[in-house]
Amino acid sequence: MASIQERQEQVIQEFSALTQWEDRYKKIIDLGKTLPELSEDLKTEQNIVKGCQSQVWLVAHLNEQGQVVLQGDSDALIVKGLVGLLLRVYSGATPSEILSTPPEFLRALGFEGNLSPSRANGLHSMLKQIKLYATAFEYLLKTKK
């Protein structure tokens, strides 16, 4: 599996080809449409990402290879696309890789300057939640040894 850095570079290449923001939004929305829906039993208060204007659920577990497997969903299509983008970059990586790789793709793609402030805050809240999961799993792995 590709590293987070390699996945970020793939995402940057894909989005850099789209020079208009409307096209980038369309691509994000399309990503949201392809993201598998989270089962209703996982859409709990415990899995809601705090700090998002729309409803966002993020769930994580550690697989046998020590990789963080992420699932997510949102009730807003563009936000669901952002969830899909984060899952594409971070799901399947080890906790230490998630914690040690900065989200350069967000800056490179201009998301911070082109998303509405509430969406940008939500994106950072989702990223923070992914890093919290990674921190917890890294601790779990260290205490198992």
Catalytic residues: 52
In the beta sheet, which residues pair with residue 62?
68
Distance CA(89)–CA(109), nearest Å, equals 14
Q: Is the alpha carbon torsion for 10, 2, 133, 77 positive or negative?
A: positive
Q: Measuring CA to CA, how many Å separate 45 from each of 3, 18, 99, 104, 124?
A: 31, 36, 25, 30, 19
Distance CA(49)–CA(33), nearest Å, equals 20
CB count within 10 Å of CB 143 equals: 7
Helix, strand, coil percentages, rounded to 5, for the chain: 60, 10, 25
